[in-house]
Amino acid sequence: MLRYGREVSSLKRGAKAEAYKITKIAQSSLGGILLHDLHSKAISQYRNARLQCVEPSTVRIELSIIRRSLDVARREWGFDIPKNHAAMVTLPPPSKGRDRRLMPGELERLERELSHHPVALAVVRFAVHTAMRRGEILRIKWRDVNLAMRMVYLPQTKNGDPRTVPLPDGAVEVLEGLEATAEEAFPIDESALRWAWDRACLAANIRDLRFHDLRHEGVSRLFEMGLSAPEVALISGHKTIAMLMRYLHLRPIELARKLQGLKLPPSA
């Protein structure tokens, strides 16, 4: 597992997150089993134990890492492993997709608690307006910002393709309020942002809200503004409309207001 982390995972874009998972697996009871003693029952027991403390989606990722590491060991490293026991273990069903959006008053409370941390506050506001991923926001350089054209160029994204993001008014206002004292538009690292976020949610008494939920919030708000699915996808960076729809959670009350006064067209 550790060799896989050094030689394979380290080359991936999500190397840091995968390295953390590999360390956890290696430190578990499963990591102490010799390869020739490894069997599917031990991996199944690991799966069942992990399901007691983490989400099924996390367990699916961990089992996939184990399976891939054994495949590499068999095919490329010359390990005498007759079969990949991890491939025989049933993956837990995917977790139900999150549909958490900001409740009335939550954004205001978050902003109040983050008022002493202006950069973290700007990141949160920018995320709500653009539905960008946290990593994308933190990698924005001033040289890639064009306020006159109201666009930001992202040379590196999660799916590997660069994209140019048109900015809503709120996002432009956030950037205009920042001081260009560093190369990055948002000079804060991920750990500091996570600390500020967790502290603000706790102080504001906001439960079960993750930073990534702001992406759901942002996508839903863009639709509520009246943008089409292709237009929202251009901003959010989703490759397919199906993936985009997983982030859309319209509020019935907003749709009811939009429907007020509308009439069906006369039949032909």
| Helix or strand run (H / E) with residue 152 | strand 151-154
- What span, in angstroms and rounded, lies between the C-alpha atoms of 178 and 140? 13
User: Catalytic residue numbers?
Assistant: 133, 158, 212, 215, 238, 247
- What span, in angstroms and rounded, lies between the C-alpha atoms of 116 and 193? 13
- What span, in angstroms and rounded, lies between the C-alpha atoms of 14 and 156? 12
State whether residue 71 is helix, strand or coil. helix
User: How high is the pLDDT of residue 55?
Assistant: 86
CA of 240: how far to CAs of 18, 62, 137, 231, 236, in Å?
25, 26, 21, 12, 11
For residues 47 and 92, the answer to whether their CB atoms sit within 8 Å is yes
User: How high is the pLDDT of residue 267?
Assistant: 59
Give the angle subtended at the CA of 195 by the CAs of 193 and 142, to the nearest 5°: 10
Closest residue by Cα to residue 59 from 91, 31, 86: 91
User: How high is the pLDDT of residue 206?
Assistant: 95
User: How high is the pLDDT of residue 248?
Assistant: 75
Burial classification of residue 206, based on how many CB atoms lie within 10 Å of its CB (0-12 exposed, 13-18 middle, 19 or more buried): middle
- What span, in angstroms and rounded, lies between the C-alpha atoms of 267 and 240? 33
Closest residue by Cα to residue 168 from 225, 245, 211: 225
Consecutive 10-residue averages of pLDDT for the chain (268 residues): 91 82 91 89 94 90 94 92 91 82 93 95 96 92 94 83 90 93 92 95 94 93 88 86 79 69 64
